[in-house]
């Protein structure tokens, strides 16, 4: 009898749907059916058992081909790379569980590495704004139960977060929103007329790169001051109308995406979006939320904040103290300056996402990819270590875009012999300790500074 | 088999009434035993030093989502304030320390048990992940109930048994420890940007008053017989004139008597009472009403309190009192984070600077000390800073020094810009009382352990209890002249035994014995109504599935279960 597994969390986007029902074949080896998932989530499950998977670590040979090696050999290689590097970069983590992130941090701390995650090239600008201005937010269930005005700005969930609108924002019927879609006003602000804009009651086609101006106009109007005839390509009447709707909302939420945090203005756009949310709370209840991309990209922000106090761009190379200064300690900038002498690409694809110049710089030194799949990064690596797919083969905690932890399950075993990110990093850590001990025995101790507490 | 003998220390154990007697304490296999039970013990010479049970913190925000917001959005809290690495892991942060730093710091101060003050139930996996990463100290966490829709609906209809069944279910689902109540009703009102200003101000839509919520939860708690009592953060925190609302809240406990098998004698713990003991009607005529509030507490022995002492530091406020944090944002205009949690609660985080140059801050400082110094029963009055709200917990030694030394208080008061106005608005200058080490042991060990219902395991030195023992380089017969020496000795204990393992020596962490997660498992009769309500609410209103809400066993770290059976 095929087995039906309910309450399965989906390892695709930051919506973290946890209502998937997955049917697994009798022998537990094949995924037969996935219910409730979007097309992309669905594909992740089928891909796990239908495609040819990498089952052993693969090491690059002098002739450019890959040769399969054992996990022990791969772990030794990875540990030696870390041990010998002056400034290794461990980057990625959008698509793994928090247990893996915590274990990777232990390795990074031991090795004196830079620890960074995909926020560095994604919602990092949001984090900068949050450092400056805070983050008046809520959980997605609050939106579902209370919100009567929804504003999407520079985000296109219809494509990027397929079930966001139906689970949380536009369509669901919640406690105080029994009429669902009918009880809500939908505003979409985007330079492109997206598929999300099609479901809006009001669509404002902001002039590209003028988002800050438009926010400024909203704030000015909300505070009762005059604005010009037209701002950012939007007529004054329209702006007045939207501000009126916002002020009269019972509960409103601004969802914004990369269209806002990576257009001209970047963190300043988010900063003023937060200021607008603060202002609106003088009239009624408003909240704001970043549309985080990967299902657990919020995870490393959380895990490393409780471990070190910083959500991304962590420089652990000082060994005594963690340091964060985006621009100085961010992956791309470090790579472009040629400061990195070993690169770990973990649970993401830097090969596809990084600027080509950064990739070229990183490629001058050892590049190790830790990921279940073949991707651009894995194909240019010196070593590719496959791991189990979180949410399919490995359970664990992930953080949804609203920072709610969701407990993910496994529905099948990973391919025989394939281990989890957590186990891999724990074993690399053990190997690092052994290398350190071996060197200590030879009295070639890498000296680290003796700590003196700041308070003394 | 490990055996240890702590020889010749001055022992303070209020649970046994031991007041600084010179005694030996024997330890075998992680527990305290009679000295006669040892055969070949290693000895620790504690002569000329103070020996107490490991410290118990009844109220501290150290793990969980809002704590982590405080860490995440305040990189400046790490600048120049993080000590260099000395232990196994880096230690980052000042007012909101990293999990590792929190564990190490508590251990260095001789603390072994910390009760996380507020756990949003939906976020319980997050809380438990952070507990896993907090070394050495045992943790419990209290889920918040005071604005929970189930609780509001059951109590509105006075369905105590249903509320009790739900409470038992939620404690198990979150692996929680006790009933926490934060701004009852007011935080739910914050869902609409509103608040409940006093205990009779009804909650929008739910049409129940904070007073009914508090009384209903006390009844629920005693119906279940939980180890700890209702743990209340009163309405209208932080505002001039709020002492009347506080007295209204405390009066709700009248007529209730504790029913439990854990030695607990209170039905209500009023937390960080300093924030709730203000007079005046504006910041201009803001004054202390601590004497009125503590008089009431002195004459009602079914109430315990912790003080929530302001330490005059730059810190990070964080509370499940969403409307208060929004209010505070308008006062200091600093950055503001807020997280409303569906059906359950809403928390806010705002940085705050308690400056000796600001009159309100120095009055707040005096209020906390007045509460402790005017208390007639220190077994019911506990040290806290509501970490990190009134100041970071690493200032406990300084708070204790203020309590033990008039000279220390005077020295601090000399730095106040508005000293005369502070003296006029409070009674602090007229108080000469100086507490002794026995009273400090009451306020930091025996008292909180008893109030939490864990005094059979923690907070004392009787045979059979956990061998959690702190030794301080303080000689009660020859206390240092300079109060700063007291603070120093309490900040870095000479020795801490955790479960019989020498964990700290001369203020340095030597090892990290396994820590525990303490939670309360309550057995209640089957309740089909409540089961159906839970099913319905998850189906329709929650954004996670019921099957994924309860903490999975694999995410619970090294549990210690306290069992309560109400079916017998």
Q: Does residue B67 carry a pLDDT above 50?
A: yes
Which pLDDT value is given to residue A89?
Answer: 98
CB < 8 Å from B in window 387-416 of A: 395, 397, 399, 403-407
Residues B315 and B173 in one domain: yes
Long-range contacts of A194-201 (CB under 8 A, 24+ apart): A194/A156, A194/A158, A194/A159, A195/A156, A195/A158, A195/A159, A196/A152, A196/A155, A196/A156, A196/A157, A196/A158, A196/A159, A196/A165, A198/A158, A199/A158, A199/A165, A199/A170, A200/A152
CB contact under 8 A, A307 and B99: yes
Shortest Cα–Cα distance, B17 to chain A (Å): 36
Q: What is the mean pLDDT of residues A202-219?
A: 98
pLDDT (tens digit per residue) in B462-498: 999 999 999 999 999 999 999 999 999 999 999 999 9
Q: Does residue A456 carry a pLDDT above 50?
A: no
Q: For chain A, what percentages of helix, strand and coil (3-state, to nearest 5) are there? A: 40, 20, 40
CB contact under 8 A, B129 and A98: yes
**Structural domain span for residue B561:** 517-565
pLDDT-based confidence at residue A450 (cuts at 50, 70, 90): low
Percent with pLDDT over 70 in chain B: 100
Percent with pLDDT over 90 in chain B: 98
Instruction: Find the closest chain A residue to B492 by CA distance.
Output: A456
Q: What is the mean pLDDT of residues B290-303?
A: 98
In this complex, is the C-beta atom of A64 within 8 Å of any C-beta atom belonging to chain B? no
Can you say how many angstroms the Cα of residue A418 is from the centroid of all Cα atoms in its chain? 24
Shortest Cα–Cα distance, B441 to chain A (Å): 26
Q: Does residue A449 carry a pLDDT above 70?
A: no
Contacts of A146 in chain B (CB under 8 A): 191-192
In this complex, is the C-beta atom of A278 within 8 Å of any C-beta atom belonging to chain B? yes
Element (H, E) at B233: strand B230-233
What value does the mean pLDDT of chain B take?
Answer: 97
Provide the CATH number for the domain around residue B477: 2.30.40.10
Residues B466 and B431 in one domain: no
Q: What is the mean pLDDT of residues B229-254?
A: 98
pLDDT (tens digit per residue) in B188-226: 999 999 999 999 999 999 999 999 999 999 999 999 999
Which pLDDT value is given to residue B568?
Answer: 81
Instruction: Find the closest chain B residue to A396 by CA distance.
Output: B555
* Token pair of A16 as six digits: 């973290």
Sign for the pseudo-dihedral over CA of B456, B459, B462, B467: positive
CA nearest to B140, candidates B176, B182, B100, B103:
B176
Shortest Cα–Cα distance, A126 to chain B (Å): 11
What is the Cα–Cα distance from B334 to B348, expressed in whole angstroms? Answer: 12
What's the length of chain B? 568
Say yes or no: ipTM exceeds 0.85. yes
Residues B433 and B475 in one domain: no
Which pLDDT value is given to residue B391?
Answer: 98
Which pLDDT value is given to residue B387?
Answer: 97
Q: Does residue A265 carry a pLDDT above 90?
A: yes
Domain count for chain B: 3
What is the Cα–Cα distance from B568 to B565, expressed in whole angstroms? Answer: 6
pLDDT (tens digit per residue) in B324-371: 999 999 999 999 999 999 999 999 999 999 999 999 999 999 999 999
Residue carrying the six token digits 């395991």: B457
CB contact under 8 A, B84 and A454: yes
Residue carrying the six token digits 């806010």: B348
Give me the total of CB pairs closer than 8 Å, taking one residue from chain A and one from chain B. 205
Q: Does residue B82 carry a pLDDT above 90?
A: no
Residues B221 and B339 in one domain: yes
Contacts of B149 in chain A (CB under 8 A): 175
Which pLDDT value is given to residue A120?
Answer: 96
What is the Cα–Cα distance from B17 to A331, expressed in whole angstroms? Answer: 60
CB < 8 Å from A in window 174-203 of B: 190-193
Which pLDDT value is given to residue A50?
Answer: 86
Q: Does residue A362 carry a pLDDT above 60?
A: yes
In this complex, is the C-beta atom of B59 within 8 Å of any C-beta atom belonging to chain A? no
CA dihedral B426, B432, B434, B435 (to 10 degrees): -60
What value does the mean pLDDT of chain A take?
Answer: 95
In this complex, is the C-beta atom of A31 within 8 Å of any C-beta atom belonging to chain B? no
Contact A57, A386 (CB under 8 A): yes
Residues B420 and B446 in one domain: yes
Which pLDDT value is given to residue A444?
Answer: 59
CB contact under 8 A, A307 and B340: no
> What 3 state SS string does B279-306 have?
ECCCCCCCEECHHHHHHHHHCCCCEEEE
Residue B321 DSSP code: B
Name which of B85, B337, B343 is nearest A319 (Cβ-Cβ). B85
Residues B500 and B367 in one domain: no
What is the Cα–Cα distance from B215 to B156, expressed in whole angstroms? Answer: 11
In this complex, is the C-beta atom of B360 within 8 Å of any C-beta atom belonging to chain A? no
In this complex, is the C-beta atom of A180 within 8 Å of any C-beta atom belonging to chain B? no
pLDDT (tens digit per residue) in B18-43: 999 999 999 999 999 999 999 999 99
Residue at a domain's end among B471, B493, B509: B509
Which pLDDT value is given to residue A447?
Answer: 52
Residues B176 and B218 in one domain: yes
Strands (E), B14-105: 18-28, 31-33, 42-45, 50-53, 55-60
Q: Which domains does chain A have, with CATH numbers?
A: 3-49 (no CATH), 54-122+295-387+420-441 (3.40.50.740), 124-290 (3.40.228.10)
Residue B386 DSSP code: T
Which pLDDT value is given to residue A383?
Answer: 98
Contacts of A20 in chain B (CB under 8 A): none
Name the least confident of A17-21, A48-52, A78-82, B29-33. Answer: A48-52
Residues B117 and B221 in one domain: yes
Contacts of A123 in chain B (CB under 8 A): none
Q: Does residue B1 carry a pLDDT above 70?
A: no
Residues B500 and B524 in one domain: no
Contacts of B350 in chain A (CB under 8 A): 134
C-alpha radius of gyration, chain A, whole number: 24
Q: What is the mean pLDDT of residues B137-147?
A: 98
CB contact under 8 A, B98 and A307: yes
Instruction: Find the closest chain A residue to B86 by CA distance.
Output: A451
Instruction: Find the closest chain B residue to A175 by CA distance.
Output: B541
CB < 8 Å from A in window 199-218 of B: 205
Residue A140 DSSP code: H
Contacts of B349 in chain A (CB under 8 A): 134
Q: Is B517 helix (H, G, I), strand (E, B) or coil?
A: strand
Q: Distance of CA A104 to CAs A297, A448, B347, Å?
A: 15, 21, 30
Residues B40 and B150 in one domain: no
CA nearest to B151, candidates B139, B160, B140, B163:
B163
What is the Cα–Cα distance from B9 to B529, expressed in whole angstroms? Answer: 57
Residues B203 and B120 in one domain: yes
In this complex, is the C-beta atom of B545 within 8 Å of any C-beta atom belonging to chain A? yes
* Residue A199: exposure state from Cβ atoms within 10 A (0-12, 13-18, ≥19): middle
Provide the CATH number for the domain around residue B260: 3.20.20.140
Q: Does residue A12 carry a pLDDT above 90?
A: yes
Name which of A145, A452, A455 is nearest B541 (Cβ-Cβ). A145
What is the Cα–Cα distance from B30 to A319, expressed in whole angstroms? Answer: 34
Residues B134 and B262 in one domain: yes
């Amino acid at each position: 009898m095929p087995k039906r597994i309910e309450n399965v969390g989906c390892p695709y986007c930051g919506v973290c749907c946890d209502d998937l029902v997955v049917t697994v074949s009798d022998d537990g080896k094949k995924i037969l059916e996935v219910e409730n998932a979007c097309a992309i989530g669905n594909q992740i499950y089928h891909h796990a058992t239908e495609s040819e998977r990498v089952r052993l670590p693969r090491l690059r040979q002098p002739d450019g081909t890959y040769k399969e090696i054992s996990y022990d050999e791969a772990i030794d290689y990875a540990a030696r790379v870390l041990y010998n590097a002056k400034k290794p970069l461990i980057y990625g983590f959008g698509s793994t569980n928090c247990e893996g992130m915590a274990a990777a941090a232990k390795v990074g701390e031991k090795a004196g590495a830079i620890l960074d995650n995909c926020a560095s090239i994604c919602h990092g600008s949001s984090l900068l704004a949050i450092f400056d201005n805070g983050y008046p937010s809520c959980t997605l269930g609050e939106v579902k139960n209370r919100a009567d005005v929804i504003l999407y700005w520079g985000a296109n969930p219809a494509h990027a977060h397929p079930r966001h609108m139906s689970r949380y924002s536009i369509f669901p019927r919640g406690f105080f929103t029994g009429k669902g879609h009918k009880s809500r006003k939908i505003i979409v602000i985007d330079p492109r007329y997206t598929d999300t804009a099609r479901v809006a009651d009001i669509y404002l086609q902001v002039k590209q790169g003028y988002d800050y101006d438009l926010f400024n106009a909203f704030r000015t109007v909300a505070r009762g001051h005059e604005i010009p005839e037209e701002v950012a390509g939007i007529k004054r009447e329209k702006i007045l109308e939207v501000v009126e709707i916002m002020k009269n909302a019972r509960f409103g939420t601004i969802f914004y995406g990369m269209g806002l945090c990576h257009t001209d203005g970047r963190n300043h756009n988010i900063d003023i979006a937060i200021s607008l949310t603060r202002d609106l709370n003088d009239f009624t209840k408003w909240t704001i939320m970043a549309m985080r991309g990967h299902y657990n990209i919020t995870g490393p922000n959380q895990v490393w904040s409780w471990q070190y106090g910083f959500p991304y761009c962590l420089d652990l190379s000082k060994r005594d103290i963690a340091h964060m200064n985006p621009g100085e300690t961010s992956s791309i900038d470090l790579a472009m300056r040629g400061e990195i002498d070993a690169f770990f690409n973990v649970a993401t694809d830097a090969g596809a996402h990084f600027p080509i110049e950064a990739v070229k710089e990183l490629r001058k030194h050892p590049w190790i990819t830790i990921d279940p799949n073949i991707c651009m990064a894995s194909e240019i690596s010196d070593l590719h270590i496959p791991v189990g797919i979180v949410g399919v083969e490995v359970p664990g905690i992930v953080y949804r875009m609203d920072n709610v932890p969701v407990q993910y399950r496994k529905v099948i075993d990973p391919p025989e012999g394939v281990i989890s990110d957590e186990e891999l990093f724990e074993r690399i850590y053990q190997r690092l300790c052994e290398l350190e001990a071996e060197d200590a025995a030879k009295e070639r101790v890498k000296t680290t500074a003796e700590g003196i507490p700041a308070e003394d | 088999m490990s055996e240890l003998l702590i020889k010749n220390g001055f022992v303070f154990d209020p649970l046994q009434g031991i007041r600084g007697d010179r005694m030996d304490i024997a330890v075998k296999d992680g527990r305290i035993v009679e000295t006669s039970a040892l055969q070949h013990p290693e000895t620790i010479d504690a002569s000329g030093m103070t020996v107490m049970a490991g410290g118990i913190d009844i109220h501290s925000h150290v793990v969980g989502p809002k704590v982590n917001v405080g860490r995440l959005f305040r990189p400046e809290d790490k600048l120049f304030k993080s000590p260099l690495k000395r232990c196994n892991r880096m230690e980052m942060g000042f007012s909101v320390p990293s999990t590792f730093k929190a564990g190490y710091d508590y251990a260095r101060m001789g603390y072994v048990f910390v009760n996380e003050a507020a756990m949003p139930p939906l976020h319980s996996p997050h809380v438990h992940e952070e507990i896993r990463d907090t070394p050495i100290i045992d943790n419990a966490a209290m889920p918040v109930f005071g604005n929970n829709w189930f609780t509001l609906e059951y109590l509105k209809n006075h369905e105590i048994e249903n509320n009790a069944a739900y409470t038992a279910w939620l404690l198990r689902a979150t692996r929680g420890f006790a009933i926490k109540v934060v701004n009852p009703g007011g935080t739910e009102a914050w869902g609409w940007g509103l608040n409940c200003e006093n205990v009779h101000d009804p909650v929008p839509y739910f049409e129940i008053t904070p007073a009914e919520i508090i009384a209903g939860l006390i009844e629920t708690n005693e119906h279940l017989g939980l180890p700890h009592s209702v743990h209340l953060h009163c309405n209208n925190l932080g505002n001039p004139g709020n002492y009347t609302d506080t007295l209204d809240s405390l009066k709700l406990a009248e007529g209730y008597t504790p029913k439990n098998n854990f030695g607990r004698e209170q039905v209500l713990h009023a937390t960080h009472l300093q924030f709730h003991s203000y007079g005046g009607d504006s910041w201009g005529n803001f004054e202390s009403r601590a004497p009125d509030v503590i008089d009431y507490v002195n004459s009602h022995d079914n109430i315990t309190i912790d003080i929530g002492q302001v330490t005059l530091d730059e810190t990070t406020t964080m509370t499940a009192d969403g409307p208060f944090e929004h209010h505070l944002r308008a006062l200091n205009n600093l950055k503001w984070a807020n997280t409303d949690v569906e059906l359950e609660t809403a928390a806010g985080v705002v940085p705050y600077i308690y400056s000796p140059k600001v009159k309100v801050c120095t009055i707040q400082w005096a209020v906390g000390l007045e509460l402790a110094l005017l208390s007639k029963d220190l077994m019911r009055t506990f040290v806290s800073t509501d970490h990190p709200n009134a100041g970071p917990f690493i200032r406990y030694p300084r708070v204790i020094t203020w309590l033990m030394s008039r000279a220390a208080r005077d020295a601090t008061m000399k730095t106040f810009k508005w000293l005369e106005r502070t003296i006029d608005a409070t009674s602090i200058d007229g108080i000469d009382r100086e507490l002794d080490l026995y009273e400090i042991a009451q306020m930091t060990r025996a008292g909180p352990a008893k109030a939490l219902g864990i005094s059979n395991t923690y907070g004392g030195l009787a045979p059979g209890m956990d061998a959690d023992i702190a030794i301080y380089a303080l000689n009660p017969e020859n206390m240092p002249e300079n109060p700063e020496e007291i603070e120093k000795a309490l900040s870095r204990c000479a020795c801490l035994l955790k479960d019989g393992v020498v964990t700290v020596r001369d203020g340095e962490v030597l090892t990290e014995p396994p820590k525990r997660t303490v939670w309360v498992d309550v057995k209640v009769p089957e309740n089909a109504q409540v089961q159906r309500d839970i099913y319905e609410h998850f189906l329709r209103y929650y954004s996670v599935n019921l099957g994924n809400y309860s903490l999975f066993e694999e995410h619970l770290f090294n549990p210690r279960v306290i069992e309560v059976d109400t079916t017998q």
